[in-house]
Every structure is written in structure tokens, then in C-alpha cells.
Amino acid sequence: MSTEAAHTDEAHATTGHYVRIAIVLTVLTILEVATYYVAIPFALLVPLLLVLAGTKFALVVAYYMHLRYDSKLFSGFFFFGFTIEILLLIALMVLFGIRSG
């Protein structure tokens, strides 16, 4: 990171900010684990868990990895790989789902 960019990060994220994000991540993890012990219909449980995991993923990438404040080129590199993977996952799940009837 350039010194200028580092200063920009400092302006946006402080130690308190990082700690607050850690608290949110902890609460989301507790909610995730709680779903294991509570009877929730499968059709509702899966989207709920994916939303919770997605929120944690987004918080870490945006704030701890600083993508929110950094160059869009970095986001491009990262999400290019991520998008390819999601497409691969959907394609193979559909393919194997059809194959196994």
C-alpha cells in the first residue's frame, strides 16, 4: 500500500472500528452456531446460513482487507477469481444434480 493509501485507511478505520467489526463477526458466528441447536426448516436454514456467512465474508474483505478503501483494480482481480468459482460451482452442481437424477 502506498503511504497515501495507508493514511486514507487510517482516516477511515481506527482500532475501535476494527474491534467493533470483530464484535459483529462474533455475534454473527454465535447466530450461525445457534441455528445448529434450533429446529429451523431446511428450506429456511440454508439461505439464512448463507446470508450470515456472506455478511461475515463481506465484512472481512471490505474492512480487514481494506477493499472498501483500496483501488477497484484489486477488487477486480479478487472478484474475477471469485466469480469464476461461483459459476463453476453452479455448473457442476447442476451437472451432477442432473446426472444423479
Partner 1 sequence: MSDAAVAHEAQEEHPTSTGLNHRKILMWAFLGSECIFFGSLITTYLVYRGKSVVGPYPSEILNIPLTSISTFVLLMSSLAMVLALAGFERAASAGANEDRKRRELQKGRFWLLMTAVLGTGFLGFQAYEFIEFVHHGLGLTTNLFGTTFFVLTGFHGTHVGVGVLWLVSILVLSYFGKVKPLDVELGGLYWHFVDIVWIIIFTLIYLIPH
Q: Where along the sequence are the contacts to partner 1 (CB under 8 A)?
A: 1-3, 6-7, 9-10, 15, 18-19, 21-22, 25-26, 29, 32-33, 35-36, 42, 45-46, 49-50, 52-53, 56-57, 60-61, 63-65, 71, 73-74, 77-82, 84-86, 88-89, 92-93, 96, 100
Q: Calculate helix-pair angle for 42-59, 15-37, nearest 10 degrees.
A: 160
φ, ψ of residue 43 in degrees (nearest 5): -65, -25
Supply the minimum distance, in Å, between the C-beta of residue 98 and partner 1: 12
Q: Which residue has the cell 431446511?
A: 42
Supply the minimum distance, in Å, between the C-beta of residue 83 and partner 1: 9
Rg (CA), the chain: 18
The C-alpha atoms of residue 36 and residue 31 are separated, in whole angstroms, by 9
Supply the minimum distance, in Å, between the C-beta of residue 33 and partner 1: 5
The C-alpha atoms of residue 96 and residue 101 are separated, in whole angstroms, by 8
Supply the minimum distance, in Å, between the C-beta of residue 52 and partner 1: 7
